[in-house]
C-alpha cells in the first residue's frame, strides 16, 4: 500500500518555531482533547508513522514531525545533540499550542522523549519508549549492532551521493527479515529524496555524529514522572529485550510490552495493527 493511502485523512503542513525555523508535521484528529506526538529515529522522517497517524486519530489528535536536520524541516549547520532536539520538541509543542501531550518515540525519538520527560515533566502526560535509544547497551552484540548502524548510516547519507542500494541497506537494518517485503520502492525513494537535498552534505554528518554520543546522554530514568510504557521487540538491534527489562524498573510504575508479531526496530510500521492497539489502550487508560 502507498504511504499516502496510509496517510489519507492526515494534513501535512509546516509549523514555524521560535528558534529552529520551519518544522514539517502530519496530523489528524484535530480538536480531540488529547494529543500524541510521534518522534522518529535518527536519519528518519515522519513517514515512519504513516500507519499510525490516521489510525489513532479517532481517539487522539495525532502529530508526527520531522526533527531538526531531518526530512523537510529546517537544516541549519550546527552541532546536533539529543539535548538540542529536546529543546526543538519543546518549541514544536509551543507552536502547536499544546501545554502537555503524550509522547511516543522510536529509537532517537525515544531517546529524545525520555530526556524531555525528565527535563520537562509538566509537559508530558504518558510516555512510550518504542525500541528507544538512550539506554545502557548490554553485551558485545549490542555494541556490534551500533557499529553496524554507524557504518550503514554513513554509506546512506555521507559517503558520496546516496543511492537506492545504500538507502535500502540502511532500511533493511530497521526491519525484521520476515518484513523486508514491506520496504517498498516508494519508501526507499522518499528517503533517497530527503538524503539527496543539497544541504544534507553539510548537515547529515552532524546529525549522525549524535550516534557516538550515545553513552554521554543516557536517559535519567529515575527522574521520569510520567506513566511510561517500554514497547519492545524480540529482535530489536542494539538494545535487546533484556535492556528493556532492566531499564523499566528504574521508572516508577512503568510497564513493558514485547511485540508478538515479528518486528525489529520499526514495530509501528512492521506490525501496525498490534502496535496501534497497544498504544491506544495505554494512552487512553494506562493499561496494556
52-100 tens-digit pLDDT:
999 999 999 999 999 999 999 999 999 999 999 999 999 999 999 999 9
69, part of any domain: yes
175, part of any domain: no
First to last CA, the chain: 28
The angle at the Cα of 47, spanning 21 to 64, to the nearest 5 degrees, equals: 55
156, part of any domain: no
Q: Please state the domain count of the chain.
A: 1
* Residue 149: predicted pLDDT: 81
Across the range 275-288, mean pLDDT stands at 96
41, part of any domain: yes
115, part of any domain: yes
Question: Distance (Å, rounded) from C-alpha 230 to C-alpha 255?
Answer: 6
- What does the pLDDT look like over 10-22, one tens digit per residue? 999 999 999 999 9
pLDDT reading at 1 higher than 80: no
Q: Give every CB contact of residue 223 below 8 A, 6+ residues apart in sequence.
A: 118, 121
- Note the pTM of the prediction, 2 decimals: 0.96
* Residue 202: predicted pLDDT: 95
Across the range 238-242, mean pLDDT stands at 95
pLDDT above 90 covers a percentage of the chain that reads 90
250, part of any domain: yes
253, part of any domain: yes
CATH of the domain at 13: 3.40.50.1820
- What does the pLDDT look like over 102-152, one tens digit per residue? 999 999 999 999 999 999 999 999 999 999 999 999 888 888 888 888 787
Question: Distance (Å, rounded) from C-alpha 258 to C-alpha 231?
Answer: 6
Across the range 245-249, mean pLDDT stands at 97
Question: Distance (Å, rounded) from C-alpha 76 to C-alpha 63?
Answer: 23
pLDDT reading at 219 higher than 90: yes
Question: Distance (Å, rounded) from C-alpha 59 to C-alpha 280?
Answer: 8
* Residue 49: predicted pLDDT: 98
* Residue 104: predicted pLDDT: 99
Residue 217, classed as helix, strand or coil, is: helix
Q: Write out the residue range of the structural domain in which residue 98 sits.
A: 3-138+216-285
* Residue 34: predicted pLDDT: 98
pLDDT reading at 161 higher than 90: no
Strands 21-28 and 11-17: antiparallel
108, part of any domain: yes
- List the alpha helices (DSSP H) in the chain: 3-6, 82-96, 108-119, 139-157, 164-174, 185-195, 200-208, 241-247, 267-270, 272-285
Residue 32 phi/psi, 5° resolution?
-65, 145
Residue 20 phi/psi, 5° resolution?
-120, 10
Amino acid at each position: 500500500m502507498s504511504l499516502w493511502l496510509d496517510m489519507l485523512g492526515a494534513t501535512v503542513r509546516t509549523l514555524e518555531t521560535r528558534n529552529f525555523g520551519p518544522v514539517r508535521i502530519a496530523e489528524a484528529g484535530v480538536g480531540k482533547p488529547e494529543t500524541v506526538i510521534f518522534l522518529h529515529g535518527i536519519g528518519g522522517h515522519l513517514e515512519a508513522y504513516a500507519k499510525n497517524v490516521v489510525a489513532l486519530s479517532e481517539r487522539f489528535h495525532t502529530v508526527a514531525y520531522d526533527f531538526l536536520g531531518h526530512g523537510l524541516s529546517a537544516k541549519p549547520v550546527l552541532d546536533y545533540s539529543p539535548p538540542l532536539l529536546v529543546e526543538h520538541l519543546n518549541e514544536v509543542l509551543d507552536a502547536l499550542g499544546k501545554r502537555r501531550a503524550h509522547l511516543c518515540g522510536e529509537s532517537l525519538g525515544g531517546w529524545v522523549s525520555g530526556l524531555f520527560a525528565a527535563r520537562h515533566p509538566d509537559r508530558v502526560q504518558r510516555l512510550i519508549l518504542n525500541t528507544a535509544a538512550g539506554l545502557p547497551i548490554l553485551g558485545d552484540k549490542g555494541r556490534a549492532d551500533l557499529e553496524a548502524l554507524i557504518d550503514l548510516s554513513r554509506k546512506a547519507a555521507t559517503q558520496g551521493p546516496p543511492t537506492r542500494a545504500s538507502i535500502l541497506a540502511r532500511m533493511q537494518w530497521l526491519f525484521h527479515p520476515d518484513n523486508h517485503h514491506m520496504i517498498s520502492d516508494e519508501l526507499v525513494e522518499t528517503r533517497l529524496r530527503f538524503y539527496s537535498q543539497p544541504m544534507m552534505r553539510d548537515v547529515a554528518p552532524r546529525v549522525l555524529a549524535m550516534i557516538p554520543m550515545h553513552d554521554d546522554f543516557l536517559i535519567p530514568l529515575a527522574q521520569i514522572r510520567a506513566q511510561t510504557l517500554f514497547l519492545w521487540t524480540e529482535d530489536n538491534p542494539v538494545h535487546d529485550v533484556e535492556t528493556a527489562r532492566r531499564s523499566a524498573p528504574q521508572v516508577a510504575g512503568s510497564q513493558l510490552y514485547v511485540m508478538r508479531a515479528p518486528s525489529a526496530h520499526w514495530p509501528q510500521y512492521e506490525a501496525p495493527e498490534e502496535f496501534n492497539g497497544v498504544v491506544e489502550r495505554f494512552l487512553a487508560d494506562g493499561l496494556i
